[in-house]
């Protein structure tokens, strides 16, 4: 195992985040810590309003913590400029949300090509990787279809591989199956787990579905603004 594989892909150290609501302060994260390693997928569970999205946004460098550190591959991101954080997000982080947010005027293939071309890849290189990724999730034959001609599960699979287009270190999922029926959600989660196993990606996935959470390597709960591991509830399925 090389040095990069020994380091956590993502680490939060005593992260705190408080919001202002009028004259009141609302603490959401109160010293949240976690470490996520390459090739690992962890579920993040908590009731609505407990701070799952805040934790994911902070881990994904979309928000700055009020205290604590966010590290990617052992590198602290706290002192980075906004421009550096944007570059890190583009190169090392992939995001999947409850709604697919595909661009309706572009095909599935073009939706997966776009983030690569924004990052500087040539059109030919972006097309080749997009075709490879769509084939990985069984959508090679649907590559030229626009989102309106895809099922909900197909749209979300495109969103997953779009998040992987620039070969990130970490995948962050904010209820990525929350808008799908149970059967389709199970299929999309199977795709995410398979990709983690194949590529060595690290993934943190917020979900309300405990059956899906138990398929992952670990279950992490947010309790009173801190991350607590629920031992014995998750089992990996290779």
Task: Supply the CATH number for residue 219's domain.
Answer: 3.40.50.300
Q: Is residue 135 a part of any domain in this protein?
A: no
Q: Give me the mean pLDDT over the 154-178 stretch.
A: 89
Distance between start and end Cα atoms, the chain = 20
- Contact call for residues 158 and 103 (beta carbons, < 8 A): no
Q: Is residue 106 a part of any domain in this protein?
A: no
Cα-to-chain-centroid distance, residue 203: 6
Residue whose tokens read 């209820």: 175
| pLDDT tops 70 at residue 236 | no
What's the whole-model pTM score?
0.87
**By C-alpha distance, which of 20, 9, 17, 27 is closest to 201?**
9
Q: What is the pLDDT of residues 52-72, one digit of tens each?
A: 999 999 999 999 999 999 999
In three-state form (DSSP H/G/I as H, E/B as E, the rest C), the secondary structure along 142-157 is: HCCCCHHHCCHHHHHH
- Contact call for residues 147 and 97 (beta carbons, < 8 A): no
**By C-alpha distance, which of 1, 11, 53, 58 is closest to 202?**
11
Q: Is residue 134 a part of any domain in this protein?
A: no
Helix, strand, coil percentages, rounded to 5, for the chain = 35, 25, 35
Q: Is residue 237 a part of any domain in this protein?
A: no
Q: Is residue 7 a part of any domain in this protein?
A: yes
Q: Is residue 110 a part of any domain in this protein?
A: no
The reported pLDDT for the residue numbered 238 is 32
User: Which of the two residues, 51 and 107, has the higher pLDDT score?
Assistant: 107
Distance between CA atoms of residues 234 and 237, nearest Å: 10
Q: Is residue 224 a part of any domain in this protein?
A: yes
Q: Give me the mean pLDDT over the 110-139 stretch.
A: 92
Q: Is residue 238 a part of any domain in this protein?
A: no
Q: For a pLDDT cut of 70, what percent of the chain falls above it? A: 95
Q: Is 237 helix (H, G, I), strand (E, B) or coil?
A: coil
Burial label for 79, CB within 10 Å (0-12, 13-18, 19+), is exposed
Range of the domain at 223: 3-101+156-229
**Domains identified in the chain, total number:** 1
């Amino acid at each position: 195992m090389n040095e990069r594989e020994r380091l956590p892909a993502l680490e939060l150290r005593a992260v705190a985040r408080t919001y202002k609501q009028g004259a009141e302060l609302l603490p959401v994260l109160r010293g949240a810590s976690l470490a996520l390693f390459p090739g690992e997928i962890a579920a993040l569970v908590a009731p609505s309003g407990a701070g799952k999205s805040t934790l994911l946004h902070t881990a994904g460098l979309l928000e700055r913590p009020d205290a604590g550190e966010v590290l990617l591959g052992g590198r602290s991101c706290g002192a980075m400029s906004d421009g550096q954080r944007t570059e890190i997000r583009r190169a090392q982080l992939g995001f999947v949300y409850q709604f697919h947010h595909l661009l309706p005027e572009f095909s599935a293939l073009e939706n997966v090509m776009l983030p690569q071309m924004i990052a500087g890849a040539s059109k030919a290189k972006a097309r080749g990787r997009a075709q490879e990724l769509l084939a990985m999730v069984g959508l090679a034959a649907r590559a030229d279809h626009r989102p309106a001609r895809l099922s909900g599960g197909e749209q979300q699979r495109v969103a997953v591989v779009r998040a992987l287009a620039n070969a990130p270190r970490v995948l962050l999922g904010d209820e990525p199956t929350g808008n799908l029926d149970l059967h389709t959600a199970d299929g999309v989660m199977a795709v995410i787990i398979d990709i983690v196993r194949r590529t060595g990606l690290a993934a943190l996935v917020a979900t309300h579905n405990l059956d899906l959470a138990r398929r992952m390597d670990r279950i992490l709960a947010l309790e009173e603004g801190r991350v607590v591991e629920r031992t014995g509830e998750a089992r990996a399925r290779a």
